[in-house]
Chain A
Amino acid sequence: MTAEPILSVRNLTTAFRADGGWKPVVRNVSFDVSAGETLAIVGESGSGKSVTSLSIMRLLAEGSSRIEGEVILNGRNLLALSEKEMRAVRGNEVSMIFQEPMTSLNPIFTIGRQISEVLTRHKGMTATQARAETIRMLERVRIPNANTRFDEYPHQFSGGMRQRVMIAMALASRPKLLIADEPTTALDVTIQGQILDLIKELQDEEGMAVLFITHDMGVVAEIADRTVVMFRGDAVETGPTSEIFHHGEHPYTRALLSAVPKLGSMEGRTAPLRFPVVDTKTGISVAPVESKGTVSTQQPILEVKNLVTRFPVRSGLFSRQTGAIHAVENVSFDLRQGETLSLVGESGCGKSTTGRSIMRLIEPTSGEIQLDGYNVRGLGSMELQRMRKSIQMIFQDPFSSLNPRMNVGQAIAEPFLKHRLGNRAEAREKAAYLLDRVGLSGDIMGRFPHEFSGGQRQRIAIARALSLDPKVIVADESVSALDVSIKAQVCNLLLDLQESLDLAFLFISHDMAVVERVSHRVAVMYLGEIVEIGPRAAVFENPQHPYTKKLMAAVPVPDPARRGIRRGISNDELKSPVRPVGFKPPVRQYREVSDGHLVQVA
């Protein structure tokens, strides 16, 4: 482990050409990675972690970037090599896997061909040898039926399986160093668990060095021997992972760690808890405040009964219906004023469709929705527009949820004016008030969305949603795309707003740790159905359904003591909710575990 490092980076400084000058985005970064060791580079967006890895591989556009310092791989300085020599290094001595498994494979070649190409090019194998070796590689990354899947195309693989293919391709040439740039970020949590396990196992078998780039402290704790924390282009702290976690020196490290939601940290509490706020300069943290009792005891504001949403699947020349996606199947729940109900589950479980069906952004197939006195499914288009005053939505991606051609003031005032809640002066006043409420200044009204960071845009989106004084807010993955520290701030803001405005939240998320922090009640969804629902404490501390348990076990916990843990998650893929025409979903039975805690039994 302490032998000669495979990769040694010294004083790496990368600058990009900007406005006629050179703007450094990575400054003076140094670290070593030895064989069999995993080094994590962790940081938020814009910290320069990805640029560091691209600099090592020299994958940045030459004219517009400048790399200084030394990158020594096995005694050779990569920065001194010619482009031709560098090509022999890439994919051979150093391999890389990327975040997006959906786009990093060429869709028009079979996966077998793509992997064997690496072997014939770098290892000089014949086609037959390469095929045999490729199948062996596919088996190594635990792809079932590797022999038959050799001739399949990328679109026939799921996201997790594609990432396995990417890993197989990266490992085909037996690299000494594997650079993994956010390899699990786009994957569902159970699939993420599988891929992390796989990388650990392969590393044990091959003894390669791994440079792992991530923003997720939980993943860092599980995979890294040593960690580099990056902040705005500087490596602010480097050390063994457990040192960083337990005795982080730099204020930023501590701020980052305290903002990380930790599954299981809510034991013994009933109300939601705000995230601690840490000053990134001083590292002084303000103790988190527990949310006051906000849940109303009156009639629920939203009641959903037996909601079903299906999408027809059509195929063939005459687009005959050949099946249906059972996106939401017999879902029932209610929501009171001041309450947060979270819908959790993995992609394709129907949680977003549920939220959209309730608002009738998607037409439900059947079921009953009572919202603030409206029978939602029976509304005509004019009444539907009026109903939208009572329920508003906050979307996931703050970069696409605001119209780029409309300034902030217009965006916030528009719903208010549209619903004729007041004149233009009042709308302006309202917009200024709301901006203040979400922690922004009223002066920014003339500015456009692109001038703001992701977190600020999400605040603007929240202000817009609040402009109609809604009673229910559907927050669809509203904090998922944000950096940890921003995520914590926005969650705190949502809790503040709930306290003061008595809002009911339908909080849709795949992130168990955040859900644990902010919810009063939780519903776990799987293949369109709620498999478990109940008070947050009951569901998290006493999960009953096997899927809930599996989901919770898969969440990476930011605790380095769990380093080396193998979950032994089976290689199951997420099942598909596509059913043939005429499929009758089975009638489900629920068992009451404790007061209000229901679990699907059959």
Chain B
Amino acid sequence: MTMIEQAPLTAKREKSRAWEKLKASRSALAGLVIILFFVILAAAAPILPIPDPVATSWSAIRKAPSAAHWLGTDDLGRDILSRMIWGAQASLMAGVFSVALAVGIGVPFGILAGYFGGWVDLVISRITEALLAMPFLIMAIALAAFLGPSLTNAMIAIGLSAMPIFVRLTRGQVLSVKQEEYVEGARSVGLGHMDIMVRYILPNVTAPIIVQATLTIATAIIAEASLSFLGLGQQPPAASWGSMLNVAKNFLSQAPWMAMWPGAAIFLVVIGFNLLGDGLRDALDPREH
């Protein structure tokens, strides 16, 4: 495609420019460090000298943090630190992949609806509204139940349930960007619809989408927890932060650490994605300094 032929004209310069700006932003770097920390931890789980995350022990049920179990143990005597590290994999994947799916489907449909209008918009918007009318979690549960219980299916279910928000958000943005003179200018120099959508519309609607995506990652991690609670997400005894949190809520007064650690981890990851998202939004915008 001609788009690709043209890109290298100054694309390299632009990429390094965005990267320079991202590096210059302390908060974005902090976000990146937090996310990398969890990613490395999750990836290194098999080689770290930690106890088996699914090994139960009747002698160590709901023990507070100690030298033997740094973060304590859960209701079945499993080591929480070990479950946290193994669970990071499932939770990060649930967050990132489901949101990627939601953005990957939602944004293109949103652009099509906003750009072409008319019956295209009518069809896409009505379907989106119908989907939005269903509560997010109910729909995820229904989809996951339909697809069958597994982590992958849970991610697909969450992604599809989160998608309508992105369709609507993108469509709204496109409607306003479409009015700009540069879009008409692009038509007047003879560009086709595809070029206009990819090079003129998409780059100018990304800012709110990035913000929405970082927020949705948190929702997705929690949603995965709810699904695994119903046996539709991560299959027990394998861990995910969400499922740990779900079990922990029954023991809040006796063993608060069971809830505290996964809660703190989700909080940190969400903060990390938020900071990185904000930094990314600014770095990609040439108008920001």
On A, residues with C-beta under 8 Å from B are: 359, 361, 384-389, 392-393, 395-397, 400-407, 409-410, 413-415, 417-420, 424, 427-428, 445-446, 448, 450, 461, 464-465, 467-468
Contacts and interface: CB of A to CB of B under 8 A. Distances in A.
Given A389-B190, A464-B189, 5 more contacts: A361-B187, A388-B189, A393-B185, A400-B181, A424-B5
Q: Which of A384, A396, A401, A428 has the largest count of B CB atoms less than 10 A from its CB?
A: A401
Nearest to B184: A361
B2 interface: yes
A396 B181 contact: yes
A49 B114 CA distance: 40
Contacts of A407: 10, 14, 286
A386 B204 CA distance: 27
14 contacts: A361-B187, A385-B192, A393-B185, A400-B181, A401-B185, A403-B186, A404-B182, A414-B199, A415-B191, A418-B191, A419-B190, A424-B8, A427-B9, A468-B190
A490 B186 CA distance: 22
A418 B199 contact: no
Choose among A414, A464, A468 the residue with the greatest number of B CB atoms under 10 Å from its CB: A414
A406 B204 CA distance: 10
Given A401-B182, A406-B199, A413 B190 contact: no
A450 B9 CA distance: 20
B267 to A, nearest CB: 32
Nearest to B179: A400
Given A397-B181, A400-B182, A409 B286 contact: no
Nearest to B287: A450
Contacts of B10: 407, 409-410, 445-446
A393 B189 CA distance: 8
Nearest to A359: B188
B148 interface: no
B6 interface: yes
B164 to A, nearest CB: 25
A410 B286 contact: no
Interface in B246-286: 285-286
A41 B80 CA distance: 73
B204 A403 contact: yes
Nearest to B6: A417
Given A361-B184, A400-B181, A418 B14 contact: no
Contacts of B181: 395-397, 400-401
Interface in B182-207: 182, 184-192, 195, 199-200, 203-204
A359 B186 CA distance: 13
Contacts of B9: 409-410, 413, 424, 427-428
Contacts of B203: 403, 405-406
B2, B5, B9 — which one has the most chain A CB atoms within 10 A of its CB?
A: B9
B214 to A, nearest CB: 20
B188 A414 contact: no
Given A392-B189, A400-B182, A414-B189, A448 B287 contact: yes
A395 B189 contact: no
Contact of A446 (B2, B13, B190): B13
A448 B288 CA distance: 11
Interface string B1-17: 01001101110011000
Contact of B204 (A387, A397, A404): A404
Contacts of B286: 404-405, 407, 448, 450
Contact of B188 (A361, A397, A403, A420): A361
A88 B202 CA distance: 49
Interface in B1-52: 2, 5-6, 8-10, 13-14
